[in-house]
């Protein structure tokens, strides 16, 4: 990735973008069958960017039929894994060549800071596609220990039509998490991006075709969840739905599976993630930086956001002071200005929900240490980074996922109480643990009920480590790592009798 541009250069680039606005089916941009469209809005200005095709069940039927026919024709599914790998690597390279355009497009629709899009989202998207491409011809099938009279072959086969239903907070990264293993395994994919953030996924489909991925392998249907998303969940020719989003909608996909063909459902849902700071924690400057990053990254619109800081009373005062100092580095403003670390909230609905949580925190007796109010910048949707103190575990802001730049300090009288508070949630996606003791790091990390536990830092692991959650945070599989391939394949036993 080259050096960041200036604010003016990013604005000029945004003004010259050719925006993809139609559905992408069988290698072509097409209007929705109904002709309906929906607006996509720049949350930093309130201005409409474009009208995007709004797909429904008719479009889903068309896309799935094309994807199924493409899969059964076998051009992609039966291609040698090494050839699939080469094409996917070319796809990743085309993303790299167009990364600046994609970064600006993503920033416009989502309100994400351009520096984050350029320096994190695009590099991670490219790396994810490349990593799974390289795995395509390196995952071996198995031979069972069946003695000398039989051969038991355990093989993995692509499922067929895969539906990917995306969130709005990391549009490019999340489509890569799903596309990488699904394509590497030989499936055809129908993607429903979030209605707020469709354009970068549509552009990726164009690049996939240019890379040599056959028409019909990657299809994109922008639209509303209750129309296009539900139709995918109920479609009998969709073999798996991989969904990232709220636990509420995740439950609906389980219902859709039961009502249709018992398709596989893979869910990565919400979180109420803790930063647990033990009594022996040292290097509090570093801890404070990581805690603030964990809470505010992507304006807190992150399923692993550490919105609860559970800190031992002996280190609370010093840590709180350092957290407030660290927050001063997080400047909010125009997402296209690379000087800004925080941009706009993605939609009016999300903005109002965050403001309601801030009001509820105040009403229930929590103390605002920083922020606590919207930031007025034209007609944009901006919320000041907000830190609450005097928060008890039963308060609403300590129990419900806020999905905004809002986090709360909860005081614990002992390390054991801190652990109990951390685990007292219906979620279990990620947790961060701060301690100077190697023994405590191992002991408490194992006791924290979360799919990923980072020690003395905030992290989600990397592409090589499985990502998913305990309890209501996840169901049916894991993203990232080689385990991600399991959710897009079927396991078959082939039994050969070779007895005399």
Known catalytic residues are: 268, 303
Q: Which are the contacts of 492, defined by CB distance < 8 A and separation ≥ 6?
A: 154, 155, 156, 157
Q: What is the pairing mode between strands 470-471 and 427-428?
A: antiparallel
Helices and strands per DSSP (H, E), number in the chain: 16, 24
- Give the C-alpha separation, 463 to 483, whole Å: 11
The phi, psi pair for 273, rounded to 5°, reads: -85, 140
The tokens 């063909």 sit on which residue? 261
Q: What is the pairing mode between strands 367-370 and 386-389?
A: antiparallel
Residue 108, H or E segment? helix 99-110
- Give the C-alpha separation, 252 to 262, whole Å: 13
Q: Which of 216, 87, 180 is nearest to 485 (CA)?
A: 180
Indicate left, alpha or beta for 76 from its phi (over 0: left) and psi (-120 to 50: alpha).
Answer: alpha
Indicate left, alpha or beta for 354 from its phi (over 0: left) and psi (-120 to 50: alpha).
Answer: alpha
Q: Which of 392, 324, 393, 388 is nearest to 362 (CA)?
A: 388
Does residue 160 contact residue 66 with C-beta atoms inside 8 Å?
no
Token couple for 223 = 């639209």
Does residue 65 contact residue 227 with C-beta atoms inside 8 Å?
no
The tokens 């807190």 sit on which residue? 300
CA atoms within 13 A on the CB side of 23: 30
CA trace torsion 481, 484, 485, 489 (10° rounding): 160
Give me the residues paired with residue 495 across strands: 152
Indicate left, alpha or beta for 212 from its phi (over 0: left) and psi (-120 to 50: alpha).
Answer: left
């Amino acid at each position: 990735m080259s050096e960041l541009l200036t604010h003016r250069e990013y604005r000029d680039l945004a003004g010259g973008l050719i925006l993809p606005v139609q559905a992408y089916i069988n290698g072509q941009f097409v209007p929705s069958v109904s002709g309906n469209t929906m607006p996509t809005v720049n949350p930093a200005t309130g201005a409409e960017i474009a009208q995007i095709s709004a797909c429904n069940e008719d479009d889903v039927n068309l896309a799935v039929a094309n994807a199924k026919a493409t899969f059964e024709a076998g051009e992609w599914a039966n291609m040698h894994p090494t050839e699939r790998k080469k094409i996917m690597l070319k796809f990743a390279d085309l993303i790299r060549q167009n990364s600046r355009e994609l970064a600006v497009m993503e920033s416009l629709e989502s309100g994400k800071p351009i520096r984050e899009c350029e320096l994190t989202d695009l590099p991670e998207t490219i790396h994810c596609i490349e990593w799974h491409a390289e795995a395509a011809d390196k995952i071996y099938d198995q031979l069972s220990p069946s003695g000398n009279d039989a051969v038991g072959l355990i093989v993995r086969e692509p499922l067929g039509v895969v539906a990917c239903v995306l969130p709005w907070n990391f549009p490019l990264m999340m489509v890569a998490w799903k596309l990488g293993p699904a394509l590497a395994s030989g499936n055809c994919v129908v993607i429903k991006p979030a209605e707020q953030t469709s354009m970068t996924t549509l552009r990726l489909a164009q690049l996939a075709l240019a890379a040599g991925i056959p028409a019909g392998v990657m299809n994109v249907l922008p639209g509303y969840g209750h129309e296009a998303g539900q139709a995918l969940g109920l479609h009998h020719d969709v073999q798996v739905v991989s969904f990232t989003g709220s636990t509420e909608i995740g439950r609906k996909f389980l219902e859709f599976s039961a009502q249709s063909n018992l398709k596989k459902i893979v869910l990565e849902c919400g979180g109420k993630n803790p930063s647990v700071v033990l009594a022996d924690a040292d290097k509090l400057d570093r801890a404070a930086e990581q805690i603030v990053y964990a809470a505010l990254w992507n304006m807190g619109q992150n399923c692993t956001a550490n919105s609860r800081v559970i800190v031992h009373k002996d280190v609370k005062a010093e840590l709180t002071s350092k957290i407030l100092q660290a927050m001063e580095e997080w400047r909010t403003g125009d997402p296209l200005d690379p000087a800004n670390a925080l941009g706009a909230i993605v939609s009016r609905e999300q903005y109002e929900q965050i403001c309601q949580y801030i009001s509820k925190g105040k009403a229930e007796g929590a103390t605002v240490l920083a922020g606590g109010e919207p930031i007025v910048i034209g007609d944009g949707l901006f919320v000041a980074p907000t830190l609450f103190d005097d928060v008890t575990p039963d308060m609403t802001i300590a129990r419900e996922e806020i999905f905004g730049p809002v986090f709360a300090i909860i005081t614990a009288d002992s390390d054991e109480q801190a652990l109990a508070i951390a685990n007292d949630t219906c979620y279990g996606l990620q947790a961060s643990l701060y301690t100077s003791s190697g023994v405590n790091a191992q002991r408490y990390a194992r006791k924290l009920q979360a799919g990923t536990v980072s020690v003395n830092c905030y992290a989600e692991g990397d592409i090589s480590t499985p990502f998913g959650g305990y309890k209501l945070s996840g169901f049916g599989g894991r993203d990232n790592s080689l385990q991600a391939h399991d959710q897009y394949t079927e396991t078959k036993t082939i039994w050969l009798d070779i007895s005399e």
